Amino acid sequence: MSDKKPFVIVTRKLPEPVEARMRALFDVRLNESDTPFTREQLIAAVQEADVLVPTVTDKVTAEVINAAGPQLKLIANFGAGVNHIDVDATFARGFTVTNTPGVLTDDTADITMALMLAIPRRLLEGVRAIEAGEFKGWHPTWMMGTSLRGKKLGIIGMGRIGQAVAKRAKAFAMNIHYHNRRSAGAGIEGEYSATYWEDLDAMLPEMDFVSLNCPYTPGTFHLINAERLAKMKPTAYLVNTARGEVIDEAALAEALIAGTIAGAGLDVFENEPVVHPKLLGLKNVILLPHLGSGTIEARTAMGEKVIINIQTYFNAHRPPDRVIPAIM
């Protein structure tokens, strides 16, 4: 890195160890209030900064990118998903984009399994029953749920997180199935005793649980819609820890109300932070406030990846987590 420190603007408050290290290494402007940047603030930031460090709450559109000054060199995203960044527009301007893959895999898979346990075992209903004074002692037929053992789990997206979910689900003696754009290969299928389904519409009717672990792209927008929800068993459960836009939230609400599926667990939402009003208050859904990577360990490791990507770039090397645009 040259003697002149790069000017870095961070759009949200990050873990204190990450911010302390950034202060030591860079000329950094932090967001002490943690208030999400407006469109105008993002435009102002890219007109000043050498490096922008956005998060999933920032819409780094082509308009924002095209307003950037010539000094902007790098968009070092704090997060693995980059669907909130117009990567093609950044490439057209000659800017580099990086992300933070890998370090949030286990924590996101843990949340997936937590939801997969909590919904069929009616854990939230049980907590509410205790709080409401409805628990009058154990009896044989009250608050019965559904076991995971022997159930078929359909994983949509067998990448890092999908495989981590498969590993955990196998430990619960679930039968692993998955849908991907292509087979994950004999090695992965053998490790998890997993069955590949090329046709998602053929897989859905056979599954007892469906876990969404795919990235959000134009091709996965509303991947789970009214038609596909109708293909699922009325006893099936749907879990989403990927991106909210992958599910048609209005259609899901109607399916849960009608009993088309048995239940759902969501950690992400289509219009986050707004949740579809028909989902609120339903007994057969658990809603979490985007906790997938929400551990001290994961968020700190994400920050360290951001720092490494910035350092590597300004040391005239290729950043380890460079995002390759679709147009390349």
Per domain, the residue ranges of the chain are 7-103+295-314, 105-287
Q: Which amino acid is at 179?
A: H
**What is the full per-residue pLDDT of the chain (328 aa) written as tens digits?**
557 899 999 999 999 999 999 999 999 999 999 999 999 999 999 999 999 999 999 999 999 999 999 999 999 999 998 999 999 999 999 999 999 999 999 999 999 999 999 999 999 999 999 999 999 999 999 999 999 999 999 999 999 999 999 999 999 999 999 999 999 999 999 999 999 999 999 999 999 999 999 999 889 999 999 999 999 999 999 999 999 999 999 999 999 999 999 999 999 999 999 999 999 989 999 999 999 999 999 999 999 999 999 999 999 999 999 998 764 4
CATH number of the 105-287 domain: 3.40.50.720
Alpha-carbon radius of gyration of the chain: 22
pLDDT (tens digit per residue) in 10-31: 999 999 999 999 999 999 999 9
Classified by CATH at the fold level, domain 7-103+295-314 comes out as Rossmann fold (3.40.50)
Question: Do 210 and 235 meet the contact criterion of CB atoms below 8 Å apart?
Answer: no
Q: Which amino acid is at 206?
A: E
Question: Do 165 and 213 meet the contact criterion of CB atoms below 8 Å apart?
Answer: yes
Question: Do 83 and 217 meet the contact criterion of CB atoms below 8 Å apart?
Answer: yes
Phi, psi of 192 (to 5 degrees): -110, 10
Confidence at residue 33, expressed as pLDDT on a 0 to 100 scale:
95
The C-alpha atoms of residue 212 and residue 246 are separated, in whole angstroms, by: 8
The C-alpha atoms of residue 137 and residue 114 are separated, in whole angstroms, by: 25
Question: Do 127 and 182 meet the contact criterion of CB atoms below 8 Å apart?
Answer: no
Q: Strand 27-29's sheet: what is its strand order?
A: 27-29, 7-10, 51-53, 74-76, 96-98
Phi, psi of 96 (to 5 degrees): -105, 145
CA 262 to chain CA centroid, nearest Å = 23
The C-alpha atoms of residue 14 and residue 301 are separated, in whole angstroms, by: 11
DSSP string, 246-258: GB-HHHHHHHHHH
Confidence at residue 260, expressed as pLDDT on a 0 to 100 scale:
97
Q: Where are the alpha helices (DSSP H) in 56-177?
A: 62-66, 87-92, 105-118, 123-131, 160-171
- Please determine whether the domains at 7-103+295-314 and 105-287 fall in the same fold group of CATH: yes
Tokens of 68: 């950037």
Active-site residues, by number, are: 243, 272, 290
Confidence at residue 1, expressed as pLDDT on a 0 to 100 scale:
53
Tell me which H or E stretch contains 191: helix 186-192
The C-alpha atoms of residue 45 and residue 50 are separated, in whole angstroms, by: 9
Phi, psi of 126 (to 5 degrees): -65, -40
Confidence at residue 3, expressed as pLDDT on a 0 to 100 scale:
73
Q: What is the pTM of this model?
A: 0.90
pLDDT (tens digit per residue) in 198-251: 999 999 999 999 999 999 988 999 999 999 999 999 999 999 999 999 999 999
